[in-house]
């Protein structure tokens, strides 16, 4: 397993170079399988687990509590304590406040909503403090100062260790950076966005309306923050495009239907044959050695998915292979 450091100072944490996406665990994936997945990931040296306070409310038979509660049960059953090296990230802001509600009823990012959401996550996860907390989505009905101030209070109280931002536009991240710098508040030290080797057309909306894809502005912002001494990590979700790299029954969404996609797939095929790795493993290796470096967030529903992802941490692409992949399309 490879490792990365997120955050700075006393709150800095070493995490595995791949994060385990726990969205389906405890919901569409039963407890026994979920526990086996988490056990295998931890046994392989995995230390970074990602969830949210709304997973997976949209699935029939599931509730927004499922994933966090499952992780809490797993921690308790395995005797995992704070400081044991397992870093849990969760998100708030997109939890429905009404049964059956959708986006119109999300809790949002007001100070009272943030305080209430954190209290619920602490209870479900069974922790004294949240290692990494993300606003899940933007909430433009609330001033950024209010959201950032509420997060700063939680960090000051020791209830939250690190704060990040999920699904935020680059200009909003820059504005947040300026506000936290002037107020001496904790800054967003981890960003979570959608990204993979194949690139979508950004002039066509992704089918998942809440997803915000990495843009060149995001990458430029990250490189600048890091170069200027403000370490900022990038975690990316949907890196394997729901299995579309390897499964014939999974079609790429319309935004990926453009001339660049076949060229990148051809380059991916060449490198996979050279390395003997799967397409998924080449994609994950490409992401981990990206500029800036990226932590892939791999959503899993079987132990085999964990094994494939963990094995990718041992794959090092050559300079020639990276150039081939980078230049394609």
> What residue spans define the domains of the chain?
3-253+280-316
How far apart are alpha carbons 150 and 62 in whole angstroms?
Answer: 30
pLDDT surpassing 80 at residue 103: no
Give yes or no for a contact between 211 and 255, defined as CB atoms under 8 angstroms apart.
Answer: no
pLDDT surpassing 80 at residue 215: yes
Active-site residues, by number, are 55
Q: What is the pLDDT of residues 300-316, one digit of tens each?
A: 999 999 999 999 999 99
How far apart are alpha carbons 208 and 125 in whole angstroms?
Answer: 27
Give yes or no for a contact between 189 and 166, defined as CB atoms under 8 angstroms apart.
Answer: no
According to DSSP, the β-strands at 3-6 and 13-16 are antiparallel
DSSP state of 25: B
Q: What is the pLDDT of residues 147-166, one digit of tens each?
A: 999 999 999 999 999 999 99
Which residues are CB-neighbours of 212 under 8 A, at least 6 positions away? 167, 168, 169, 193, 194
Is CATH 3.20.20.100 the classification given to domain 3-253+280-316? yes
Give yes or no for a contact between 325 and 285, defined as CB atoms under 8 angstroms apart.
Answer: no
Q: What is the pLDDT of residues 251-304, one digit of tens each?
A: 999 999 999 999 999 999 999 999 999 999 999 999 999 999 999 999 999 999
Q: What is the largest CA-CA distance in the chain?
A: 54
pLDDT surpassing 80 at residue 135: yes
Position 38 scores a pLDDT of 98
Position 141 scores a pLDDT of 96
How far apart are alpha carbons 129 and 127 in whole angstroms?
Answer: 5
Residue 113: band (very low, low, confident or very high) from pLDDT cuts 50, 70, 90: very high
**Cα-based angle 171, 175, 178 (whole degrees, multiple of 5):** 140
pTM of the model: 0.96
SS3 call for 298: strand
Phi (first) and psi of residue 14, to 5 degrees: -85, 130
């Amino acid at each position: 397993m490879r490792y990365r450091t997120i955050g700075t100072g006393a709150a800095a944490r070493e995490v595995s170079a791949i994060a385990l996406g726990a969205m389906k665990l405890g919901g569409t994936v039963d407890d026994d399988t979920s526990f086996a997945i988490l056990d295998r990931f931890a046994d392989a040296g995995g230390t970074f687990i990602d969830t949210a306070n709304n997973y997976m409310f949209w699935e029939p038979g599931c509730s927004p509590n499922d994933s966090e509660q499952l992780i809490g049960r797993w921690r308790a059953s395995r005797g995992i304590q704070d400081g044991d090296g397992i870093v849990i990230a969760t998100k708030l802001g997109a939890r429905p406040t009404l049964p059956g509600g959708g986006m119109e009823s999300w809790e949002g990012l007001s100070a009272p909503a943030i305080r209430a959401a954190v209290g619920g996550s602490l209870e479900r996860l069974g922790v004294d403090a949240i290692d990494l907390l993300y606003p899940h989505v933007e909430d433009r009905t609330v001033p950024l100062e209010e959201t950032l101030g509420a997060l700063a209070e939680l960090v000051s109280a020791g209830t939250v260790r690190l704060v990040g931002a999920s699904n935020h536009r680059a200009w909003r991240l820059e504005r947040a950076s300026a506000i936290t710098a002037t107020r001496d508040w904790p800054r967003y030290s981890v960003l979570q966005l959608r990204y993979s080797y194949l690139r979508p057309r950004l002039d066509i909306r992704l089918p998942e309306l809440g997803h915000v894809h990495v843009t060149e502005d995001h990458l430029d912002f990250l490189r600048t923050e890091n170069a200027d001494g403000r370490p900022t990590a990038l975690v990316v979700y949907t890196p394997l495009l729901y299995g579309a790299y390897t499964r014939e029954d999974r079609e790429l969404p319309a935004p990926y239907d453009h001339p660049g996609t076949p060229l990148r797939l051809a380059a991916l095929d060449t490198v996979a044959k050279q390395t003997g790795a799967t397409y998924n493993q080449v994609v994950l290796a490409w992401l981990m050695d990206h500029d800036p470096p990226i932590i892939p967030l791999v959503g899993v529903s079987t132990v085999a998915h964990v094994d494939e992802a963990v094995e990718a941490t041992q794959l090092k692409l050559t300079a020639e292979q990276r150039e081939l992949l980078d230049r394609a399309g």
